[in-house]
């Protein structure tokens, strides 16, 4: 196969990243993998296979995550060469985790091209689930299923198998279309089309004919302060001692019984700063409205936590949750004894300690779970809170790091999948936007704009009932993966036997 065939993985990589924000041409994800599958099933040599895989990975992940160098350069203290170098290392890591899809598809194609296409969705599923749990402690951003947020009906199947099931269906449709064009594989296409139609019918039912069961509803307020990360002490003082308290009082006077502040850059540590602690305590004691907010917790010189606190009646601390899934190279340096040279990227926050408990809070009779920033991209964290009785989720995040890029929109759409997977409302408080109220169907009932100070007043509704995904977790996905592998091996053995038989004739 000629090197000109490398155009195929390039087309696929570009098509896949165009399916995500900021372009959001989501239909491309239904056909975007066809060129790459065509490339693999033509059985290129292994050098070409590796080159094609790198091209696909760099175009796909590089396009979706283009904003990462800005973060490392603007806030990490690196120059552009170093920032781009770190970005390339991340892209190579993501390419490694996607490689089982390429490797297994190519191996099976050597024996049976049709079976390679039949197994492709399972192979892709293996890489996405693996990336969630093992890529530097997990990095499930840019999962293919997230591109389908605008296709509201289809993503409702996430309550069965998570975002991964959406990805599985996407790859299956890509593979079936190629099988139709090349092999007239009508049965495979019929299966894929049937599953897609069933998913749409299920989505229509969920969207228009199903009502989740509410448990409790209270008036709440989400505050978006738009705190500038690069500002000086005066800016922080004005935000934390004037604007945020004013927003709290405004929410209280509007009838809110629960106020939520976002995660944000905060030089005042609640556990260490006596004046700040007393100020918040008096604010809540006088206002009489529960306040959920973010602060760094300091327990010793070596133990720092990224925490969510809630002050209740009399300004007393009634809830604390310590972030468990920290941002690698942002809040801690993994394998620091070997990778300590990354310290300049993380400055003083590299010493954060992960929490060790999923704590469910309670405001009046409403039970809630708190996900802090990065934790919102992990389905298993939301499931753990739901398992422990959370009737509503709160996400507090600081997306100001990303600037005016596609990252805030990508992050917001990821959060919507957590709502669908568990059929829970989400109150999302973001420092600079997007703050939002997300209903159990993943719809944005209220949403702010980027880099504006704002206040959302909304009813915080708790919901009960478990979804198949919240109950079974990844078991359905594991069954799909494990069911694919023996099928591939079996077909491969049959294919090799046919070749031997032909040679004997």
DSSP 137: S
Which structural domain range is residue 297 located in?
213-464
Gap between the Cα atoms of 279 and 42, Å rounded:
68
Q: CA 54, 58, 59 angle in degrees (round to 5)? A: 115
Gap between the Cα atoms of 222 and 52, Å rounded:
46
What average pLDDT does the segment 78-88 reach? 83
Query: Quick check: is 420 in a domain?
Result: yes
Q: Which two tokens stand for residue 334?
A: 């993994």
Query: Quick check: is 223 in a domain?
Result: yes
Question: Per-residue pLDDT tens for 273-307?
Answer: 999 999 999 999 999 999 999 999 998 877 899 99
> Which candidate in 113, 239, 323, 375 is catalytic?
323
Q: Do 136 and 236 reside in the same domain of the chain?
A: no
Q: Would you tell me how many other CB atoms lie within 10 Å of the CB of residue 418? A: 29
Gap between the Cα atoms of 348 and 365, Å rounded:
38
Q: Would you tell me how many other CB atoms lie within 10 Å of the CB of residue 100? A: 14
Please give the sequence-ordered ranges of beta strands (E in DSSP) within 280-419, or none if there are none: 290-300, 303-311, 317-322, 361-363, 366-372, 392-397
What is the domain count for the chain? Answer: 2
Active site residue 187: no
Q: Do 184 and 219 reside in the same domain of the chain?
A: no
Q: 218 CB contacts (<8 Å, ≥6 apart)?
A: 257, 258, 363, 364, 366, 459, 460
Q: Is 195 exposed, middle or buried (0-12, 13-18, 19+ CB in 10 A)?
A: middle
3-state secondary structure of 279: helix
Q: Nearest-CA neighbor of 379 among 154, 168, 161?
A: 161
* Percentage of the chain lying above the pLDDT 70 cut: 92
Query: Quick check: is 460 in a domain?
Result: yes
pLDDT at 498: 43
Residue 163 has pLDDT above 60, yes or no: yes
> Which candidate in 113, 128, 239, 373 is catalytic?
373
pLDDT at 318: 98
Query: Quick check: is 154 in a domain?
Result: yes
Q: Do 446 and 329 reside in the same domain of the chain?
A: yes
Lowest-confidence segment of 143-152, 325-334, 361-370, 494-503 by average pLDDT: 494-503
Side-chain half-sphere CA neighbours of 480 within 13 A: 26
Query: Quick check: is 321 in a domain?
Result: yes
| Locus of tokens 């998570």 | 162
| Locus of tokens 């693999």 | 40
Residue 483 has pLDDT above 70, yes or no: yes
Interstrand relation of 425-430 and 258-260 (parallel, antiparallel or unpaired)? unpaired
DSSP 154: G
Residue 504 has pLDDT above 70, yes or no: no
Q: Do 421 and 476 reside in the same domain of the chain?
A: no
Question: Per-residue pLDDT tens for 453-480?
Answer: 999 999 999 999 999 999 999 999 999 9
Q: Which two tokens stand for residue 383?
A: 């499931």
Could you tell me the CATH number of the domain that includes residue 231? 3.60.110.10
> Which candidate in 113, 119, 128, 263 is catalytic?
263
With cut-offs at 50, 70 and 90, classify the pLDDT of residue 419. very high
Q: Would you tell me how many other CB atoms lie within 10 Å of the CB of residue 403? A: 17
Query: Quick check: is 191 in a domain?
Result: yes
Q: Nearest-CA neighbor of 367 among 394, 398, 391?
A: 391
Higher-pLDDT residue of 171 and 340 is 171
Residues 225/453, Cβ–Cβ less than 8 Å: yes
- Angle of helix 113-134 relative to helix 158-183, nearest 10 degrees, comes to 150
Gap between the Cα atoms of 299 and 145, Å rounded:
40
Q: Do 158 and 264 reside in the same domain of the chain?
A: no
Q: Which two tokens stand for residue 23?
A: 């372009």
Gap between the Cα atoms of 48 and 213, Å rounded:
54
Query: Quick check: is 501 in a domain?
Result: no
Residue 334 has pLDDT above 90, yes or no: no
Q: CA 278, 283, 285 angle in degrees (round to 5)? A: 90
Q: Which two tokens stand for residue 66?
A: 């283009």
Q: Do 46 and 178 reside in the same domain of the chain?
A: yes
Q: Do 373 and 396 reside in the same domain of the chain?
A: yes
Question: Per-residue pLDDT tens for 228-256?
Answer: 988 889 999 999 999 999 999 999 999 99
Q: Do 37 and 79 reside in the same domain of the chain?
A: yes
Question: Per-residue pLDDT tens for 373-387?
Answer: 999 999 999 999 999
Q: CA 167, 160, 175 angle in degrees (round to 5)? A: 30
Gap between the Cα atoms of 432 and 423, Å rounded:
26
| Mean pLDDT, rounded, of the chain | 91
Query: Quick check: is 503 in a domain?
Result: no
Q: Do 170 and 114 reside in the same domain of the chain?
A: yes
DSSP 384-437: HHHHTT-SEEEEEE-GGGG-SSSHHHHHHHHHHHHHHHHT-EEEEEESSS--EE
With cut-offs at 50, 70 and 90, classify the pLDDT of residue 80. confident
C-alpha dist (Å) from residue 436 to 394, 428, 455:
10, 5, 10
Q: 452 CB contacts (<8 Å, ≥6 apart)?
A: 224, 226, 433
With cut-offs at 50, 70 and 90, classify the pLDDT of residue 403. very high
What average pLDDT does the segment 146-157 reach? 98
Q: What is the CA radius of gyration of the chain?
A: 24
3-state secondary structure of 330: coil
Q: CA 294, 298, 302 angle in degrees (round to 5)? A: 130
Q: 43 CB contacts (<8 Å, ≥6 apart)?
A: 1, 106, 109, 110, 113
Q: Which two tokens stand for residue 351?
A: 């010493």
With cut-offs at 50, 70 and 90, classify the pLDDT of residue 492. very low
Q: Do 119 and 239 reside in the same domain of the chain?
A: no
What average pLDDT does the segment 319-344 reach? 75
Beta bridge partners of 366: 363
* Secondary structure of 206-227 in HEC code, one letter for each residue: HHHCCCCEEEEEEEEEEEECCC
pLDDT at 81: 83
The kind and range of the H/E element at 449 are none
Residue 500 has pLDDT above 70, yes or no: no
Q: 316 CB contacts (<8 Å, ≥6 apart)?
A: 281
With cut-offs at 50, 70 and 90, classify the pLDDT of residue 337. low
Active site residue 323: yes
Q: Note the Cα 11 to chain centre separation in Å.
A: 25
Active site residue 494: no
pLDDT at 328: 80
Q: Do 70 and 120 reside in the same domain of the chain?
A: yes
pLDDT at 3: 74
Q: Which two tokens stand for residue 492?
A: 């491969």
Q: Do 180 and 274 reside in the same domain of the chain?
A: no
């Amino acid at each position: 196969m000629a090197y000109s065939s490398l155009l195929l993985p390039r087309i696929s990589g570009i098509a896949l990243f165009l399916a995500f924000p900021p372009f959001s041409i989501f239909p491309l994800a239904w056909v975007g993998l066809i060129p790459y599958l065509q490339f693999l099933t033509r059985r290129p040599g292994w050098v070409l296979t590796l080159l094609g895989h790198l091209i696909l990975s760099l175009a796909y992940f590089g396009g979706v995550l283009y904003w990462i160098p800005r973060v490392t350069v603007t806030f990490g203290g690196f120059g552009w060469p170093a920032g781009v170098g770190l970005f390339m290392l991340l892209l190579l890591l993501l390419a490694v985790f996607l490689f089982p899809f390429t490797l297994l598809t190519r191996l099976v194609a050597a024996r049976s091209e049709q079976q390679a296409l039949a197994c492709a969705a399972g192979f892709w599923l293996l890489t996405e689930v693996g990336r969630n749990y093992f890529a530097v402690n997990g990095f499930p951003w840019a999962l293919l299923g997230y591109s389908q947020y605008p296709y509201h009906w289809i993503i409702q199947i996430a309550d069965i198998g998570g975002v991964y099931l959406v990805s599985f269906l996407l790859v299956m449709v890509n593979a079936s279309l190629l099988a139709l064009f090349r092999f007239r594989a009508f049965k495979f296409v019929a299966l894929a089309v049937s599953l897609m139609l069933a998913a749409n019918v299920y989505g229509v039912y969920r969207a228009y004919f199903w009502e989740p069961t509410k448990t409790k509803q209270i008036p709440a307020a989400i505050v978006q302060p738009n705190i500038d990360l690069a500002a000086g002490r005066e800016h922080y003082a004005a935000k934390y001692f004037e604007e945020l308290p004013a927003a709290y009082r405004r929410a209280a006077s509007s009838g809110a019984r629960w106020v939520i502040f976002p995660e944000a850059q905060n030089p005042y540590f609640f556990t260490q700063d006596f004046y700040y602690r007393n100020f918040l305590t008096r604010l809540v004691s006088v206002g009489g409205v529960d306040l959920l907010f973010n602060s760094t917790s300091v327990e010793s010189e070596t133990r720092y936590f990224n925490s969510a606190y809630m002050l209740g009646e009399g300004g007393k601390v009634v809830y604390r949750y310590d972030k468990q899934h920290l941002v690698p190279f942002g809040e801690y340096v993994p394998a620091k004894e070997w990778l300590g040279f990354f310290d300049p990227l993380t400055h003083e926050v590299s010493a954060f300690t992960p929490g060790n408990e999923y704590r469910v809070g309670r405001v009046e009779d409403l039970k809630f779970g708190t996900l802090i920033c990065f934790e919102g991209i992990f389905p298993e964290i939301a499931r753990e809170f739901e398992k422990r009785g959370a009737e509503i989720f709160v996400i507090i995040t600081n997306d100001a790091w990303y600037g005016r890029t596609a990252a805030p929109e990508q992050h917001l759409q990821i959060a919507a999948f957590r709502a669908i997977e568990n059929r829970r409302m989400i109150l999302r408080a973001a420092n600079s936007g997007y703050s939002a109220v997300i209903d159990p169907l993943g719809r944005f009932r209220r949403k702010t704009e980027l880099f504006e100070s704002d206040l959302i007043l909304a009813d915080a509704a708790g919901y009960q009932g478990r979804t198949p995904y919240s109950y079974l977790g990844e078991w359905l996905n594991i069954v799909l993966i494990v069911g694919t592998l023996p099928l591939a091996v079996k077909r491969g053995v049959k294919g090799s036997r046919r070749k031997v038989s032909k040679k004997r004739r």
